[in-house]
């Protein structure tokens, strides 16, 4: 049970959880949005099936797309859009490759950098998976935003690693209890794709009993 990867939480969920715990629960516990998440995962898997470990080699880089990753510590599995293996003296050896490399995850995002940390924690979780799988340090990673057409470097600090551990612990706590947190409405609801399901504004409406008694 413990190490059965089928039961691991989806890595991409950490961005939902960081954005809004309820959104995460609606998607990952209640599967209210399952098909969308699956579609995204499906595309990744498709890509992967199409080009299993096709690696582009460019100068000092080895580029691997749609790479499946996991961490037994975090108990999560997911897919990295792109992992670049950069040649580096400080790096590690890879089977069938000359030289030493450091893995660097790159996550592609629609839009522009967000005010919240949801993209960052997802990237850090990916980095932690790579650290565990390759037994090495992953000191930095990138987020690529298509609106600004630029990469943003993220340093993988110990604070961020601790935060990711903490978030996964919370996620497992909710998951084991199948608990969907109550609404905490806020600005973020405006950009939430589940707003119609969640109905965040209902929170301040009248108690149902009172509403019914008005019709007596």
Partner 1 sequence: MRKLLNTLFVTTPNSYLALKGETIVVTAGEDHLGQVPLHNLEAICTFGYMGASPKLMHACAERNISLTFLSTSGKFLARVVGESKGNVVLRKTQYRLSDSTNESAKIARNFIFAKVANQKWILERMTRDYPMRIDVPAFKKISATLSEYLQEILMVQDLEILRGLEGQAANHYFRCFDQMILQQKDDFFFKTRNRRPPTDNINALLSLAYTLLAKDVSAALENVGLDAYVGYLHRDRPGRASLALDVMEELRGVIADRFVLKLINKKIITGKDFFAKENGAVLLTDEGREKFINAWRERKQEPLTHPYLKEKINWGLVPHAQAMLLARHLRGDLEEYPPFLWK
Residues lying near partner 1 in the complex (CB under 8 A) are found at 29-32, 34-35, 178, 180, 182-183, 196-197, 199, 202, 205, 207-209, 211-213, 215-216
User: Per CB under 6 A, which region of 18-26, 69-77, 118-126, 155-163 contacts ligand SF4?
Assistant: 18-26
Residue 20 contact among ligand SF4, partner 1, none, beta carbon within 5 to 8 Å by kind: ligand SF4
What DSSP assignment string belongs to the chain? -TT-GGGSEETTHHHHHHH-HHHHIIIIIS-TTHHHHHHHHHHHHHHHHHSTT-EEEETTEEEEEEEEEEETTTTEEEEEEEEEEEEEEEEEE-TT-SSEEEEEEEEEESSS--SSSHHHHHHHHHHHHHHHHHTS---EEEEEETTTTEEEEEE--HHHHHHHHHHHHHHHHHHHHT--PPP---GGGGG-TTHHHH-GGGGGSPPHHHHHHTT-
Of 91 and 181, nearer to partner 1 (C-beta) is: 181
13 interacts with ligand SF4 by CB under 6 A: no
Of 59 and 178, nearer to partner 1 (C-beta) is: 178
Q: How many C-alpha atoms does 38 have within 13 Å on its Cβ side?
A: 5
Residue 82 contact among partner 1, ligand SF4, none, beta carbon within 5 to 8 Å by kind: none
Out of 48, 55, 140, 188, point to the residue binding ligand SF4 (CB under 6 A). Answer: 188
194 interacts with ligand SF4 by CB under 6 A: yes
- The minimum distance between CB 15 and ligand SF4, in angstroms, equals 12
- The minimum distance between CB 113 and ligand SF4, in angstroms, equals 19
Q: Can you tell me which residue has the tokens 């499946």?
A: 68
Q: Which residues pair with 86 in a beta bridge?
A: 61, 102
User: Per CB under 6 A, which region of 19-27, 73-81, 124-132, 159-167 contacts ligand SF4?
Assistant: 19-27
192 interacts with ligand SF4 by CB under 6 A: yes
Of 152 and 183, nearer to ligand SF4 (C-beta) is: 183
> Of residues 74-133, which lie at the interface with ligand SF4 (CB under 6 A)?
none
195 interacts with ligand SF4 by CB under 6 A: yes
CA neighbor of 126 nearest in space, from 108, 138, 114 = 138
């Amino acid at each position: 049970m413990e190490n059965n990867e089928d039961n691991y939480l989806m890595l991409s969920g950490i961005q939902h959880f960081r954005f809004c715990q309820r959104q995460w629960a609606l998607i990952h516990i209640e599967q209210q949005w399952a098909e969308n998440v699956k579609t995204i995962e499906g595309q990744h898997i498709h890509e992967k099936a199409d080009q299993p470990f096709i690696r582009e080699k460019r100068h000092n880089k080895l580029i691997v797309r749609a790479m499946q990753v996991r961490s037994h510590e975090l108990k999560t599995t997911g897919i990295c859009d792109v992992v670049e293996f950069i040649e580096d003296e400080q790096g590690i050896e890879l089977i069938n490759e000359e030289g030493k490399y450091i893995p660097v995850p790159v996550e592609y995002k629609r839009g522009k950098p967000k005010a919240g940390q949801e993209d960052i924690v997802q990237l850090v979780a990916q980095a932690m998976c790579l650290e565990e799988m390759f037994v090495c340090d992953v000191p930095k990673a990138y987020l690529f935003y298509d609106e600004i057409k630029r990469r943003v470097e993220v340093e993988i600090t110990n604070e961020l690693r601790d935060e990711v551990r903490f978030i996964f612990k919370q996620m497992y706590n909710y998951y084991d209890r199948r608990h969907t947190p109550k609404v905490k409405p806020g600005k973020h609801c405006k950009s939430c794709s589940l707003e119609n399901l969640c109905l965040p504004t209902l929170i301040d409406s009248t108690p149902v009993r009172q509403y019914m008694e008005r019709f007596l």
